[in-house]
Structures are given as C-alpha cells and as structure tokens.
Structure 1
Amino acid sequence: MKWRTVCVCGAAFVFTACSRHEPPRWQGYAEGEYVYLASSQSGTLTELAVERGQTVAASAPAFALESGEEEAARNEAQHRLTAAQQQLADLQTGKRPPEVRVTEAQLAQAEANAHKAALQLTRDEAQLRAGGISQAQLDDSRAQADSTAAQVRELRNQVRVANLPGRTAQIAAQAADVDAARASLAQAQWRLDQKRVNVPRAGLVYDTLFRVGEWVQAGNPVVQMLPPQNVKVRFFVPETAVGSLAPGRKVTVRCDGCAEDVPATITWISNAAEYTPPVIYSNENRTKLVFMIEARPSAQDAVKLHPGQPVEVTLQ
C-alpha cells in the first residue's frame, strides 16, 4: 500500500509540473533603419573623418568634398554685398564734407564778386548821370552784376543739394541691390556648407561607401549610419494572439550570445496578415495566419542587438 501511495503522489507531481503555463515565445529578427549621409553638391572626396565600425557623436565631421569653387563664389558674393552696402550709405549721407566745403568756398568767392559788381554798378550809374561814361559801359556793369548774382544763387542751391541724401527712389533701388547681394551671399555660403557634412545623430558608422580621391555625384551617400534609436525588432505572432497585443506593451527580447535579455516596447502592429491561404478560412488554416509586430528597445539596450540577428520575443 505504501508503494502505491508514493507512486500516485509522484504521478500527480509530474502532472502538475507539466501543466504549468509558460509564456508564448515568438520568433523574429533585429533590424536597423539606416541613415545615409550625402551632399547635395558634387565633388571629389577630400576628407573622410569616420571609419566603419566607429561610434561617433552628434555633429561630428563625417566627410568633406573639394570646395575651392564654392569658396571663391562665397568671397565674390561677400565683396558684392560690401560694395552695395557702401553705395547705399553714400546715397544716404549726401556728398562728403570736403566736397561740400569746396562748394561753400566757391559760393563765398561768388558772393564777393557779386558785391564788387554791385558796387561798380552803383558807381557807373552815378557816372552816367554826370556824363562821365557811356550807356554801353553802364549796360556792361549791370550785366556783370546780374551774372555774379545768378552765380551766387546757383552755388547756394548746390550747397543745399550737397547736404541732402540721395533721392528716395535711388535709395530704395540701392537698398534692393543690398538685399539681392545678401541673398546671393547666403546662397553661396549654403553651397559651401554643403561640401562639409556632419553626423546628424550619434550612432554607429555602419559603412563608408567612397574612398578619398573618388568623385562623388550629388545625392550619392558617402557614409551609412545606424543611430541606436533606429534599431528595432520585428517578430511574428499567430492570429490567435495578435488581438491581445497593443502598442506600448512591454516585451523581452532574447538572442544567442546576449549576456542578458533586452527589454523593448511594441510600437507597431501590422493590419495585414503575412500569409493568407488561397482558400476560404477554416479552423485548420487560420492557424497559419501570422502578423508582423515591431518593438523598439531603448537607445542604451539597442547596441546589444545587430541587424539581421535572429531573436526570440516573449511578453513581460
């Protein structure tokens, strides 16, 4: 009797252990969303500041193309802007003080001549009444007085004009030239900046696609980057389990050779089945339906995974 009792108890223990529920496990793989660094300009690759397999920080130099032509264009645009700004300043301030002083000196000389001519005219008028000079000589004196007076008025107007800024339309036109020159400089600077490309986000240099000295066509990637935020896990779950999952659900990722499990968060669930039988659904073929799900680990844990690496995913 004792022996049978022990056997029954042992059998019950084995049955209980075998019926213990284990969390489902789904197969998948790690994947990376690569960032391809390229320039919008063509040129010879003169500098490659990163190497394949290197981890670089954000804003670190990645590569540079030959930029002699762009530097010359930028310098030319800078000189044109400076010239346009100086011309605008000249229009806004009128003539230079030395030029104004020259005109003022001419005015003073003309005023002296006009005063002298007016005195001579007064004397000649008295002489004509006394019969000392002819009418022709008086006419000459009057003409000389009128001429010097007109010259005084002209020079006075020139002094006033010299102290005025340029006309409104001229200033507006020159200001437009300054804006156009500034825009040309910005364009030239942008083209020059495109010849040097920096790393937009910290990450792994997955590959370099050109060597120094090679010609790089505009838009062709030179460096292939993999930021840790761009590492994700894709796995597949059966149709019977997809309804219980939702974005934000926590999962655990296991991989061969990993020292520890990697936690991740579901970010996307496919709305379409990866496999659809060519016949009407039945209880037999519904089990063949699987849905792709994406989960992302944190940036700190993403470095533990490698694109293409098989993984096993379980719910936390």
Structure 2
Amino acid sequence: MLNRILISFVFLLFLGCSHEQENVALGTLERDRIAHTATVSEVITDLPIAAGSKVIKGTVLVRLDDDLQKASVAKAKAQVQQAQATLDKAHNGARQEEVAAAKANVAGAEAALAKSTASYARAKSLIKTNLTSQATLDDALANRDKNLATLSNTQEQLLQLINGTRIEDLAIAEAVLASNIAMLASEEKKLSNLTITAKRDGILDNLPWNLGERVTAGSPVAIVLAGKAPFARVYIPEPYRVHIKVGDSLTVHVDGLAKPILGNVRWIATEPAFTPYYALNQAERANLMYLAEIMLPDNTSDLPSGIPAQVVLPLVTGLSER
C-alpha cells in the first residue's frame, strides 16, 4: 500500500510539473505472486530448483519428508482390502463345506433330542411305579428341553447359510468399503501435497526455508512469479478512466529500453484505489486514481519485476479546460 501511495504521489507531482505529459500513467512491472504453502509441519528433504530459475507447471519445487504419510497410505490401503474382502464374502454367501457342517450339526441335535425325549418318557413311566425319583424325572425333562433348544438354534444357523446375507448387511459392507476408499483418497492427497510443484509457468523467486528445516503448517515454502511476461501495474487518473476498457492496446515505456512496447489492458478497477471519492468538487475529482494492469507480450519475458514503467493514455479532448 505504501508503494502505491508513493507512486500516486509521484504521478501527481509529475502532472503538476508538465502539462505535456498529462496522458501518462506511472507504475512498475509486476508478475502474479504465487505462494506455495506447506499443508503439514515436516522437514524439507529436497530443493531441486534454485531460486531465480524459470519453471513450468508441474516442476517439483520442494519435497517434504513423507515417510510417516506413506505409512498412513499403506494402512488405508489395507483397510480398503479388508472391507472389499468382507463385501465379497457377503455377496458370495456360505461355502458348501459350511452348509454341510451346519446340516451335520442339525442331525446331531436331532439325535440328541430323540435320545433325551426317550429318557424323559422312560423316567415318566418309572415314576408312576415309584421305581425312580422325582429328581431324575426333572433332570430328564431339563435335558430334553435343552436339546430341543439346541436343535432350533442349529436349524436357524442352517437357514441363515442357505438364505444368504441380508440386504441390510450388504448395505453396511458397501458403506464401510466406500468410507475406506474415501479415507485412502484423502491420505494419498496428503502424500502428494508433500511434493510441492509449480502450479503455473514462471520464475522461482524465493525459497524461504532451507534444506533440513522443519517448516510450519501454512507457511510459504516457495514463491513463484507466474506468467511468461510481466504486466505494468499503473494508476489511471479519473479523467481517463471512462476511455479505457479491458482489451485496449496501450503503449508502455520501460526504463532502460529505448523502444516502447505495445501492451493490452487485462484488468482495470471499477472503484478508486485511494483518495476519498465522496463530496469531491470538479477539480478534486481529477485526483482519483484507478488501478490497472497492462499485459506485455511474451517476448518481454526477460524483463525483471519492479522496473518503473510509463503507460501512454489516450488523449481526452478538453481535458486541459477542466
């Protein structure tokens, strides 16, 4: 903000000193500043690109220690495999061996019930002739009821195997698998974030952290000045604002270059950047400034950022009379 105020101050002084140059907007060459941040607190293990180098989209800028995250991904993969196996088992149903074993259990329970039923009947007949005790009769009855319950249980288990998995259980198994797949995707994304790559073509301007340092989560680890060519960030005086729109071609003079450059307006503000815009008289309105960005052609890619630039504005008839 201080730089912008200084630019505007110089611009106003420039206008006051020379009426011949009223149609010039002052500013500097800039590039989009892309800050690549760390998502976790980890140690920097590799800085393959030196600061100041040109990079393209996808170039690896910084690598962070990923051993712990790789273990998390391996665990998530195992959980997915387990959930998939559970779902497959639910779809496939019981094996023939399991069904055969269940049928054998039913047969055994039926035999035990027949034996206990006969024992109870014999004890019941003996009690009438006082040849056995009441306790023996009670034990025989309890044993028969126990075997009857066992038979009922084995029959239900056999029916469960024959009828297959319930729809609700299948839905639960599918939901568990989907949840584990989502967790795996999340862990893999965290792993990929530990390898920080350029999101746009540009120049690697700064590497704030050194190799071996543990970065803090959320802090910038690589700064890229994006774009093949810079743009001129200038302030447009209020009288010229209505005559300039996005896409217009304007002449740009860069300090140190004798030949002017033709650029295109890629953006211009719709509200003043500074100076109160309310209750201004006609003379004061001329002090309003509108921030604009003039894109330079690709053949100016070697121009550094921060170089002063002057943009020639279209002449406005009658401006000197205001």
Aligned pairs for 1:1-316 (under 5 A) are 24-102=23-101, 161-228=160-227, 231-258=230-257, 260-266=259-265, 267-269=267-269, 271-272=271-272, 274=274, 281=281, 289=287, 291-298=289-296, 300-315=298-313
TM-score w.r.t. the length of structure 2 is 0.66
Contact kept? 2:233, 2:291, Cα under 8 Å: yes
Give the whole-Å Cα distance in 2 for the aligned partners of 1:71 and 1:55.
30
Alpha-carbon offset, residue 74 of structure 1: 1.3
Contact kept? 1:231, 1:302, Cα under 8 Å: yes
Contact kept? 2:62, 2:196, Cα under 8 Å: yes
Alpha-carbon offset, residue 104 of structure 1: 6.2
Counterpart amino acid of 1:39?
Answer: A
From the superposition, tell whether residues 230 and 177 of structure 1 become closer, same or farther in structure 2 (CA, over 3 Å). Answer: farther
From the superposition, tell whether residues 192 and 282 of structure 1 become closer, same or farther in structure 2 (CA, over 3 Å). Answer: closer
Alpha-carbon offset, residue 92 of structure 1: 2.1
Instruction: Count residues with an aligned counterpart.
Output: 259
Alpha-carbon offset, residue 239 of structure 1: 4.3
- Residue by residue over 1:164-220, the C-alpha shift from the partner in whole angstroms, topping out at 9 and shown as x without a partner, is 322233222222222222222222222222212211111111111111100111110
TM-score w.r.t. the length of structure 1 is 0.67
- Report the secondary structure of 1:263's partner residue: strand
Percent of aligned pairs sharing the same letter: 21
Counterpart amino acid of 2:185?
Answer: A
Contact kept? 1:262, 1:301, Cα under 8 Å: no
Alpha-carbon offset, residue 91 of structure 1: 2.1
- Report the secondary structure of 2:168's partner residue: helix
Contact kept? 2:241, 2:290, Cα under 8 Å: no
Give the whole-Å Cα distance in 2 for the aligned partners of 1:23 and 1:282.
17
- Report the secondary structure of 2:294's partner residue: strand
Contact kept? 2:240, 2:313, Cα under 8 Å: no
Contact kept? 2:109, 2:151, Cα under 8 Å: yes
Give the whole-Å Cα distance in 2 for the aligned partners of 1:77 and 1:54.
38
Contact kept? 2:229, 2:296, Cα under 8 Å: no
Q: CA RMSD in A?
A: 3.9
Give the whole-Å Cα distance in 2 for the aligned partners of 1:59 and 1:65.
16
- Residue by residue over 1:212-245, the C-alpha shift from the partner in whole angstroms, topping out at 9 and shown as x without a partner, is 1001111101110011168321234444444433
- Residue by residue over 1:71-94, the C-alpha shift from the partner in whole angstroms, topping out at 9 and shown as x without a partner, is 111111111121122122212222
Alpha-carbon offset, residue 263 of structure 1: 1.9
Give the whole-Å Cα distance in 2 for the aligned partners of 1:239 and 1:154.
90
Counterpart amino acid of 2:30?
Answer: E
From the superposition, tell whether residues 159 and 309 of structure 1 become closer, same or farther in structure 2 (CA, over 3 Å). Answer: same
Counterpart amino acid of 2:39?
Answer: S
From the superposition, tell whether residues 170 and 94 of structure 1 become closer, same or farther in structure 2 (CA, over 3 Å). Answer: same
**Structure 1: segments with no counterpart, 5+ residues:** 1-20, 114-149
Equivalent in the alignment of 1:143: none
Q: Which has the larger radius of gyration?
A: 1
Counterpart amino acid of 1:176?
Answer: A
Alpha-carbon offset, residue 109 of structure 1: 10
From the superposition, tell whether residues 260 and 170 of structure 1 become closer, same or farther in structure 2 (CA, over 3 Å). Answer: same
Counterpart amino acid of 1:94?
Answer: G
Alpha-carbon offset, residue 61 of structure 1: 1.4
From the superposition, tell whether residues 30 and 270 of structure 1 become closer, same or farther in structure 2 (CA, over 3 Å). Answer: farther
Give the whole-Å Cα distance in 2 for the aligned partners of 1:71 and 1:31.
39
Compare 221-230 and 29-38 and name the one that shifted more.
Answer: 221-230
- Report the secondary structure of 2:271's partner residue: strand
